[in-house]
Amino acid sequence: MKGIIEISPHIYQIGGNGQSDGDDCCISLVEGDQASALVDAGAGRSVDRLMRNMEQGGLDPRAIKYIIVTHGHIDHIGGLKELKKRLGAQVIAHEMELPAIQDGLPQLTAAAWYGVEYQKVKVDCVLKGDQASISLGNLNLICLHTPGHTPGGIAVYVDSPGGRVLFGQDIHGPFKQEWGSDLKKWRLSMAKLIALQADILCEGHFGIYRPAVKVRQYIENYLERY
């Protein structure tokens, strides 16, 4: 398996895409000078591997104070309970994803798709409204409410020395009525992401895209598809 991938200075992909279990979404770490944060937690079978990836890559898991959940599907939340326990980190998610993350409603987590038994997790910091900021010291993570794939999905971006990095997550869908998917809201969310003019896109499953023109093209290709 691959180790960590440097996305931009102090921003790394530590799981997904051949770095951890094949069911994992892409999992990223943002390293500030006062704290670090994970974006998503994978399906749950790779916690040991994620810890090794960080340690072998010279990253300090003890600095992780936050786990930001982009939405409540099992490939993004299955590892939450164990990672929260090991890291002592706060879980952050939008209020509209609580029925999946805290209540574990199976039609919302899609756990059966992956053969995973989801372990419910308390969300420590509940995001409300359209935007919130999380400070890591010298870096600020901006969480944007981007409904469409799920009702409470969020995208996260950070302005780093290497440019604006966007964790757009599941831009590609899919869309299911049972999850509360809404294509009209998704299109508005995609327009919001395009307006950010990000230099680097970290997609939920399909890797890293750069420069800005390719980020825009990636999002626009899915807008044309749907």
Q: What are the structural domains of the chain? A: 5-225 (3.60.15.10)
Question: Residue 1's pLDDT is what?
Answer: 60
pLDDT at 191 over 70: yes
Query: Could you give the CA distance from residue 183 to residue 174 in angstroms, rounded to a whole number?
Result: 10
CA distances in angstroms from 19 to 25, 113, 163, 165, listed in the order given = 10, 21, 24, 20
For residues 106-131, give the mean pLDDT.
94
Could you tell me the pTM of the whole model? 0.96
